[in-house]
């Protein structure tokens, strides 16, 4: 199923530090991709309620503009399609204050895996803002820390 609503949710912010820079002194593209991949993984885990999700495919990555040390950027994702075992998103990173786009990716596809490590149907067709799709192990902190 494809979702109509175009709006991207910008959630995570990053402060560009010296270790994030390339030899040119601007934001290293590899850092951006690592952040986006992690952001997308967390997004998918919550949307599908499963910790076993993997990146399958990323479409063209457009490094629209650069960022410099001290800049603050924000990362946004939007689910664009739910397949049988997959979920597709688009992504954007932009400057928090100027809203200047820094990176866009039209398609990031994640696959939902079963306990056997093979693709498994996730059964969802819509985005949720409820917390009830958080993977069970992560939903029960008291149990995890032996307080129950
Ligand atoms: C968060 C991370 O960084 S994870 C680490 C990096 N990622 C990985 O290590 C994953 C490595 N890849 C794999 O293990 C395997 O390719 C798997 C298990 C993900 C998928 O295996 P496949 O044999 O491709 O599975 P299968 O053909 O059943 O496809 C699964 C889904 O992916 C979709 N898919 C497969 N290839 C592509 C592709 N190139 N582009 C878009 N979607 C694709 C399929 O359409 C299917 O979706 P659907 O069920 O919603 O229709």
- The complex's ipTM works out to 0.97
Determine the residue of 34, 119, 124, 125 to mutate for testing ligand 1's pocket, defined as the one with the most ligand atoms within 8 A of the Cβ atom.
Answer: 119
Ligand 1 centroid to residue 32 C-alpha, Å: 22
Rounded to two decimals, the pTM is: 0.92
Ligand 1 centroid to residue 110 C-alpha, Å: 7
Pocket of ligand 1, beta carbon within 6 A: 37, 41, 54-57, 83-86, 109, 111, 119
Ligand 1 centroid to residue 93 C-alpha, Å: 24
CA 38 to chain centroid = 6
Distance from C-alpha of 115 to C-alpha of 50, rounded to nearest angstrom: 10
Q: What is the pLDDT of residue 131?
A: 77
Q: What is the pLDDT of residue 84?
A: 98
Determine the residue of 56, 59, 109 to mutate for testing ligand 1's pocket, defined as the one with the most ligand atoms within 8 A of the Cβ atom.
Answer: 56
- Residue whose token pair is 């200047």: 100
Q: What are phi and psi of 40, to 5 degrees?
A: -65, -40
CA 56 to chain centroid = 13
Q: Tell me the H-state helices in 28-73.
A: 29-48
Cβ neighbors of 23 (< 8 A, separation 6 or more) are none
Q: What is the pLDDT of residue 137?
A: 83
Which ranges of the chain have pLDDT less than 50? 4
The string of pLDDT tens digits covering residues 23-51 is 999 999 999 999 999 999 999 999 999 99
Ligand 1 centroid to residue 46 C-alpha, Å: 18
Which residue's CA is the nearest one to ligand 1's atom 9? 54
């Amino acid at each position: 199923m494809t979702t109509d609503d175009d709006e991207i949710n910008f959630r995570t912010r990053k402060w560009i530090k010296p270790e994030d820079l390339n030899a040119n002194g601007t934001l290293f593209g590899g850092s951006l991709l690592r952040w986006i991949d992690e952001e997308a993984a967390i997004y998918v885990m919550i949307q599908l309620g499963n910790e076993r999700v993997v990146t399958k495919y990323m479409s063209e990555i457009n490094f629209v503009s650069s960022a410099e040390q001290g800049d603050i950027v924000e990362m946004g994702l939007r689910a664009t399609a739910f397949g049988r075992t997959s979920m597709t998103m688009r992504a954007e990173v932009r400057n928090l204050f100027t809203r200047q786009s820094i990176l866009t990716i039209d398609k990031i596809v994640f696959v939902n895996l079963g306990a056997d490590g093979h693709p498994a149907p996730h059964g969802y067709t819509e985005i949720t803002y409820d917390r009830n799709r958080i993977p069970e192990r992560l939903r029960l902190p008291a149990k995890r820390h032996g307080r129950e």
